[in-house]
Chains A and B, each alone.
Chain A
Amino acid sequence: MNQNSPEVVAEHGLSVEEYDTIVRSMNREPNLTELGIFSVMWSEHCSYKSSRLHLKRLPTEGPQVICGPGENAGIVDIGDGQAAIFKMESHNHPSFIEPYQGAATGVGGIMRDVFTMGARPVAMMNALRFGEADHPKTRHLVAGVVAGIGGYGNCMGVPTVGGETNFHSSYNGNILVNAMCVGLADTDKIFYCAAKGVGNPVVYVGSKTGRDGIHGATMASAEFDDDSDEKRPTVQVGDPFTEKLLVEACLELMQEDAIIGIQDMGAAGLTSSAVEMASKGGSGIELDLDKVPQRETNMTPYEMMLSESQERMLMVLQPGKEDMARAIFEKWDLDFSVIGITTDTNHLTLSHQGKQVADIPLGPLADFAPMYDRPWEETKRPTAVTPDSVPVPDDLGEALLKIIGCSDIASRRWIWEQYDNTVMADTLQIPGGDSAVVRVHGTNKALAITTDVTPRYCQADPFEGGKQAVAETWRNLTAVGAKPLAYTDCLNFGSPERAEIMGQFKGCIDGMVEASNAFDYPVVSGNVSFYNETNGVGIQPTPAIGGVGLIDDLDHMATVPFKADGEIILFVGETNGHLGQSIYLREIGAREEGSPPPVDLGVERRNGDFVRRLILSDKVTAVHDLSDGGLAIGLAEMAMASGIGATIDIASDLPAHAYLFGEDQARYVLTCPAAGVDAILSAASDAGVPTAKLGITGGEDLTLGDMARVAVDDLSDTHEDFLPELMEI
């Protein structure tokens, strides 16, 4: 006779087969607490059951990698005994239901992942996707998400230095909020989660446990329908004040030799932290739930184990260090409670009010965790769009203005001015450049950080889209002069139970694998978010890539703005006028069609390495890579950032609209003083990199041959209007 009815099992998001596996692995029926623990650990969100098979193919190693995927965050060596620790994570479902708290706790969660490992967070990024600008929910969601990210990150005193925002109808019912945190640590002070040893104290620190967020991980593992608002109680509530105290207390304790293992309580709270610590340490953990600090009365073991209350950590300390550690946490007004010990049983056992309430064998919980080879269906390759099938506008200048002010290209100033982007006094490039750049405190080095993906490319051709996402981060890091080190990913897709979606997922991963290998640019951490769909309609596949690069000497760094009148503008790369899936085609032609621009990874690397060499040898004064909107938009952005115009000679056989707005890859625009041109052209010729003179900076207009002439002020006005007009009516 089943102790748990099929309804109860289904409510926990477990299939009949999965439930049978639980019974087999325990040799008995689980009680409700045990069922809850299995259900969250085997949820898609925690177990990666549909994605693991494919994720395994991603390159994760390299001489720079200290720690790849599997810990709280990835770690890369940046020399001089220091490491960059970073990860990106989604908080999509909570942010759609409750945008302020959803986004805020997303920021808090990813920061904890980073400082758990011993790093001080030094930069935040976010990749946001909203529905169409005129969708009735969009304004409310943008306002709430931006305020939530700012509310949490600003209080933490970590600068939010960049990111990306798109608007598209496919996100109308399912927005994406992906937050990335980058931290710095000394390589000899890195902390992992393994709970090693027997008889060591297991300590709970941070906020008290309440009933918020119960089953958050399960919610994130199901799609939305019209009743999604009923899930509001599963959204956690953040308290950045407590988190700020927590980071300071943790980093203070980490200066001492006291911590054996440490893990934050994120998705699935106390359950996943205890299970992961014991599993990684090959030990067992015995917890006395009566000792868990609680802010509500009469909480059951089930509720305590599944609560996702924020700002909590679990640590295993060396015996005898409890009093010293307690003094630190009490100084910071935080709860500190020894709630258990490590054992050699390889079981997680819980007691409550004198009774054992759960006894879970950790081996089977991990070993029998489901892993699915979900059916997948290859995305049909779209037919290419040729330039002659796309109408040429009467006035290219008007087309330029329309595109510079459209939802995907317009200035994001309204958003990033709500984020403290200069706190910590190390921000060298604020949002708006190709990459954000923050100095490594107290040194002459800097980290470059960018997040990129072009979802419409991934939708049309997942393989090329996956390649392009990785390549664009690599290119953006390169464009500021950084050496790309590694990346984190946040893979947002629809339901893995549909073959079409799994085909998109597999295709994107295939592309990412190829690009990673071509650039020696591994993935070191990441997150998968499936079930991003409402009423059966999935989002555009959105594998957001967060790249991190190193600038060895911040005196050799490039920026986007033109620097002076009369400088020569150079163009690196080749233009074939690729209009398929371009912003131009969508905004001017009202079509979302065609194949995305292919990425030739060899050319990409060759061109990028050349541009980086120019930056490091101080031969160029401004650099910008070309992406959405192509050459015309790239030039306009350089002009707007500086207030300096430019005159371009157009010497191309391509139709004007394809030449100006085509989105061919691996391209850069550079400037240099007139005297420096010949040296660059000759170096380019030696390196086999197509490079040509494009024009000259100066004046108040952007003049594109005899095809268009637009005042830089008009470009800026249109560029800056979109978000304030949307948000401040």
Chain B
Amino acid sequence: MRSAVIVFPASNCDRDAATALENISGTKPHMVWHGDAELPDVDLIVLPGGFSYGDYLRCGAMASQSPIMKEVVARATAGTPTLGICNGFQILTECGLLPGALMRNAGLNFVCRKVALKVENTDTVFTRNYSSDQEIDIPVAHHDGNYFADDETLARVEGEGQVAFRYTNDNPNGSARDIAGITNAARNVLGLMPHPERVADTKLGGMDGAPMFQALTEALS
């Protein structure tokens, strides 16, 4: 699997994503600077977590205007699997690849802890190695993960099976309908607040993120 991790100014989970991708797929991803206009020919694009542009203006707002994003949007629209984690999810909503927005956490504080998620849709290239309704534990670490969309959009997203992950008993940010991650209608773009790349290594006290990278590797290699 050939993959690219986009590095924005103050991305800070770029190395973590690259490490998980390399450990599981066996291939080092391309690290692509946000200011570049060209994206290598890859099977997977990852927008990593972090604080691109210091979260100034709005989380992900400025990064969504970076030169590389024109190409990311074009590839994603053409079907290249694209994964946005945390700040990457925020960038995906800001650039319009995913519906809705991520607002400040309902509790107003940054929150970092492991949360339980339910896998809602296993019919995507990202989630096919999970079983339906499987419960997984993955850490969150964010200040703005409160997913919001208007009722009509939420109804559509739910109806089309675009909800990929939902918080179960502990919604850390007040997101609408406990949504933790969604896909686009074509299901090749996934954005989620939790960090699967932090639980993809046996030494780190959890492997619940690994099936996502394994599924991508199997499908895209």
Give A contacts to B, CB under 8 Å.
Answer: 147, 150-151, 154-157, 239-242, 244-245, 331-333, 416-428, 439, 554
Contacts and interface: CB of A to CB of B under 8 A. Distances in A.
20 contacts: A154-B110, A155-B12, A155-B51, A155-B55, A156-B12, A157-B10, A241-B53, A241-B56, A245-B10, A331-B35, A332-B9, A416-B112, A417-B111, A418-B110, A422-B112, A422-B139, A424-B16, A425-B204, A428-B204, A439-B203
B50 interface: yes
B96 interface: no
A472 to B, nearest CB: 26
B195 A155 contact: no
B187 interface: no
Q: Looking at B35, B50, B109, which has the most chain A CB atoms within 10 Å of its CB?
A: B109
A240 B204 contact: no
Contact of B12 (A151, A244, A332, A418): A244
B79 to A, nearest CB: 29
Contacts of B13: 157, 423
Q: Looking at A147, A155, A422, which has the most chain B CB atoms within 10 Å of its CB?
A: A422
Q: Is the interface of B mostly helix, strand, loop or mixed?
A: mixed
A666 B186 CA distance: 62
B204 A150 contact: no
B20 interface: yes
A183 to B, nearest CB: 15
Nearest to B10: A244
A58 B117 CA distance: 51
Nearest to B17: A425
B30 interface: no
A157 B141 CA distance: 11
A420 B141 contact: yes
B177 interface: no
Contact of B112 (A332, A418, A424): A418
A423 B16 contact: yes
B208 interface: no
A425 B201 contact: yes
Contacts of B139: 422
Nearest to A555: B203
Contact of A423 (B12, B19, B54, B143): B12
Given A147-B109, A241-B9, A157 B198 contact: no
A422 B9 contact: no
Contacts of B109: 147, 150, 417-418
Interface of B: 9-10, 12-13, 15-16, 19-20, 33, 35, 49-51, 53-56, 109-113, 139, 141, 143, 195, 197-198, 201, 203-205
Given A240-B51, A241-B51, A554-B203, A419 B9 contact: no
B12 A428 contact: no
Contacts of B33: 331
Contact of B141 (A240, A245, A423): A423
A417 B112 contact: yes
Contact of A241 (B35, B54, B111): B54
Contacts of A157: 10, 12-13, 50-51
Contacts of A439: 203
A332 B8 CA distance: 10
Nearest to B141: A420
Contacts of A245: 9-10
B182 to A, nearest CB: 23
A332 B13 CA distance: 17
B184 to A, nearest CB: 27
Given A416-B112, A420-B110, 12 more contacts: A150-B109, A151-B110, A154-B51, A154-B112, A154-B141, A155-B12, A157-B12, A241-B10, A241-B56, A242-B54, A421-B112, A423-B12
A241 B59 CA distance: 13
Q: Looking at B56, B110, B201, which has the most chain A CB atoms within 10 Å of its CB?
A: B110
B51 A428 contact: no
Contact of A425 (B10, B143, B197): B197
B204 A427 contact: yes
A425 B20 CA distance: 9
Nearest to B55: A155
A242 B9 CA distance: 9
A554 B203 CA distance: 8
Contacts of A428: 203-205
B91 to A, nearest CB: 16
A232 to B, nearest CB: 23
Contacts of B53: 241
B10 A155 contact: yes
Q: Looking at B10, B16, B56, which has the most chain A CB atoms within 10 Å of its CB?
A: B10
Contacts of B9: 241, 244-245, 332-333
A420 B20 CA distance: 18
Contacts of A422: 112, 139, 141, 195, 198, 204
Nearest to B114: A422
A453 B110 CA distance: 28
A105 to B, nearest CB: 15
A332 B12 CA distance: 14
A687 B33 CA distance: 58
B51 to A, nearest CB: 4
A156 B50 CA distance: 8
A244 B203 contact: no
Contact of B15 (A156, A417, A424): A424
A481 to B, nearest CB: 14
Contacts of B10: 155, 157, 240-241, 244-245
B187 to A, nearest CB: 27
B16 A150 contact: no
Contacts of B49: 423
A424 B12 CA distance: 8
